[in-house]
Amino acid sequence: MGRLPKDREIQAIKRRVALVLLIIGSFILTGASFSIYWFMMLKI
C-alpha cells in the first residue's frame, strides 16, 4: 500500500492535469472573448 508511484504513472497524471487545464483555459478564453464581443455590440 505504501509503495511509491512509478514515473510512468506520474507522467500520466501530469498529462491528464495539463489536458484538463488546457480545456478549462480555452473555455475561459472563449467565454471572455464572447462576453467582450457582446459588450461591444450592446454599447454601439
The count of other CB atoms within 10 Å of the CB of residue 43 is 6
Q: What is the pLDDT of residues 1-44, one digit of tens each?
A: 567 768 899 999 999 999 999 999 999 999 999 999 999 999 87
**Domain-wise residue ranges, the chain:** 11-44
pLDDT at 7: 87
pLDDT at 13: 94
**Residues in contact with 5: Cβ distance below 8 Å, sequence separation at least 6, in sequence order:** 13
This prediction has a pTM of 0.57
pLDDT at 1: 55
Q: DSSP alpha helices (H): ranges in the chain?
A: 7-43
**Dist CA 28 CA 35 (whole Å):** 11
